[in-house]
């Protein structure tokens, strides 16, 4: 029987009544932009994450872009001289670096820690220049980056820190949740995320009220008061229907997280006797939410072919590191610049980890990997 990489249908069955009721409510109100559901959802996520402010936006990508803009990292057509620099990992989803480019700043890549796949603070340190304005550590696959070292590097030089928490709502380090480590943090509610919407959505979390105010203005064309613009913003608003759907799911998020951790623990023990399968290493200070469970194997093509033959969903996150993407060629990087990122791109496979997986399915997946990995 086919096992997809992600199956949202069972999750939907659990929240169907509440979701449909809330959406009907939005439809009856005919208020689709802003309003009660957006405000309630912002308050609920702020409470959940233990932060002072939460601002709903149109996607995780726009959360990154609007955060850069709010921090003043945004080139205008009148600016002269060299661009601001923002340090990002070479191994992450494209949006981390793409949003820096779109803000008119230069993405400066750093390598990752080969154990956690998160940005390596030593590599960050080696990339600092007088033009570095921000660092964007990514909490990849749902595990926090080494935030205390990143903060130390940044605060000694008055450099901003934007957490890319697109894959990591509720993940914690030393008991502190994502959103409390940087100047701000960006969340994504893309449907495949642990808290997935009915389409695109995102959020900026911060403990800095004036930064939150800037994000609120900039998500609505920098408009304050109506039709007056001190700064150029954009349309980065979160829809009421998205907020309504997400609000119905939020109360289940922790239970789903526990189920994901239980699935991860199953895989960890199933692969304990298979040294050819490298399981995810979670820093003991971290509590991962396992947005993905990513293994590394020496013979990836064979393992992928076997999983496909057995109709088991899997994915490569990500097959080409960002420093060698075609669009970033003008930045002058070359293959070999970031060996850990390049190794990860060649050897990793994400396995199904969604909460509703059954024991028999987990056994079948683990068995298929174990019998094909070399």
- What is residue 348's three-state secondary structure? strand
Which pairs count as long-range contacts for 41-47, CB under 8 Å and 24+ apart, including other chains? 41/238, 41/243, 41/244, 41/246, 41/247, 41/250, 42/203, 42/243, 44/247, 44/250, 45/169, 45/187, 45/203, 45/205, 45/250, 46/205
Find the shortest distance in angstroms from Cβ 198 to ligand PLP: 13
Q: Whose CA is closest to 54, among 247, 216, 278, 261?
A: 216
Of 146 and 164, nearer to ligand PLP (C-beta) is 164
Site map for ligand PLP, 146-185, x if CB under 6 A? Answer: ------------------x-xx------------------
Q: How far apart are CA 226 and CA 27, in angstroms?
A: 25
Find the shortest distance in angstroms from Cβ 167 to ligand PLP: 5
Applying the rule CB under 6 A, the residues between 340 and 369 that interact with ligand PLP are: none
Of 271 and 328, nearer to ligand PLP (C-beta) is 328
Would you give the DSSP letter of residue 280?
Answer: P
Applying the rule CB under 6 A, the residues between 267 and 306 that interact with ligand PLP are: none
Applying the rule CB under 6 A, the residues between 190 and 229 that interact with ligand PLP are: 190, 200, 202
Find the shortest distance in angstroms from Cβ 96 to ligand PLP: 5
Find the shortest distance in angstroms from Cβ 61 to ligand PLP: 3
Site map for ligand PLP, 49-68, x if CB under 6 A? Answer: ----------xxx-------
Q: Which tokens belong to 125?
A: 């340190």
User: The sheet that has 293-297: what strands, in order across it?
Assistant: 277-278, 293-297, 348-351
Q: Whose CA is closest to 104, among 135, 137, 68?
A: 68
Please list, residue by residue across 186-199, b when 16 or more beta carbons sit within 10 angstroms of its beta carbon and e when fewer do.
bbbbbeebbbbbbe
Site map for ligand PLP, 88-127, x if CB under 6 A? Answer: ----xx-xx-------------------------------
Find the shortest distance in angstroms from Cβ 365 to ligand PLP: 22
Helix (H) or strand (E) run with residue 356 in it: none
Among 113, 143, 188, 341, binds ligand PLP (CB under 6 A): 188
Find the shortest distance in angstroms from Cβ 281 to ligand PLP: 19
Of 271 and 290, nearer to ligand PLP (C-beta) is 290
Of 132 and 167, nearer to ligand PLP (C-beta) is 167
Q: Which residue is nearest to ligand PLP (CB)?
A: 60
In contact, 170 and 176? CB cutoff 8 Å: no
Q: How far apart are the two ends of the chain, measured CA to CA in Å?
A: 25
Q: How far apart are CA 152 and CA 156, in angstroms?
A: 6
Total residues at the site for ligand PLP (CB under 6 A)?
15
Q: What is the binding site for ligand PLP (CB under 6 A)?
A: 59-61, 92-93, 95-96, 138, 164, 166-167, 188, 190, 200, 202
């Amino acid at each position: 029987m086919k096992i997809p990489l992600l199956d949202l249908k069972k999750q939907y069955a659990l929240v169907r009544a509440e979701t449909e009721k809330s959406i009907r409510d939005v439809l009856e109100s005919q208020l689709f932009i802003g309003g009660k559901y957006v405000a309630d959802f912002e308050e609920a996520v702020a409470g959940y994450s233990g932060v002072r402010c939460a601002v709903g936006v149109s996607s995780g990508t726009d959360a990154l872009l609007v955060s850069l803009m709010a921090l003043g990292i945004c080139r205008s057509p009148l600016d002269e001289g060299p661009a601001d620099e923002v340090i990002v990992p070479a191994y992450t989803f494209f949006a981390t670096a793409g949003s820096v480019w779109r803000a008119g700043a230069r993405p400066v890549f750093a390598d990752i820690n080969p154990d956690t796949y998160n940005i390596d603070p030593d590599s960050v340190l080696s990339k600092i220049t007088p033009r570095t304005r921000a660092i964007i550590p990514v909490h990849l696959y749902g595990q926090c980056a080494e935030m205390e070292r990143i903060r130390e590097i940044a605060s000694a030089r008055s450099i901003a820190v934007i957490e890319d928490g697109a894959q990591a709502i509720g993940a914690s380090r030393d008991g502190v949740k994502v959103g409390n480590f940087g100047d701000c943090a960006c969340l994504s509610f893309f449907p495949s995320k642990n808290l997935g919407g009915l389409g695109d959505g995102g959020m900026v979390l911060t403990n800095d009220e004036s930064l939150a105010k800037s994000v609120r203005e900039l998500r609505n064309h920098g408009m304050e008061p109506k039709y007056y613009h001190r700064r150029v913003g954009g349309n980065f608003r979160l829809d009421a229907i998205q907020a309504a759907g997400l609000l119905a799911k939020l109360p289940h998020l922790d239970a789903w997280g526990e189920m994901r951790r239980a699935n991860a623990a199953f895989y960890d023990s199933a692969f304990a006797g298979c040294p050819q399968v490298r399981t995810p290493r979670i820093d003991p200070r971290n509590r991962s939410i396992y947005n993905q469970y990513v293994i590394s194997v020496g013979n990836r093509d064979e393992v992928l072919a076997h999983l496909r033959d057995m109709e088991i969903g899997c994915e490569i996150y990500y097959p080409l590191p960002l420093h060698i993407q075609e669009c970033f060629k003008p930045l002058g990087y070359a293959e070999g610049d970031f060996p850990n990122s390049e190794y990860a791109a060649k050897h990793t496979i994400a396995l199904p980890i969604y909460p509703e997986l059954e024991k028999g399915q987990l056994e079948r997946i683990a068995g298929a990997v174990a019998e094909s990995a070399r």
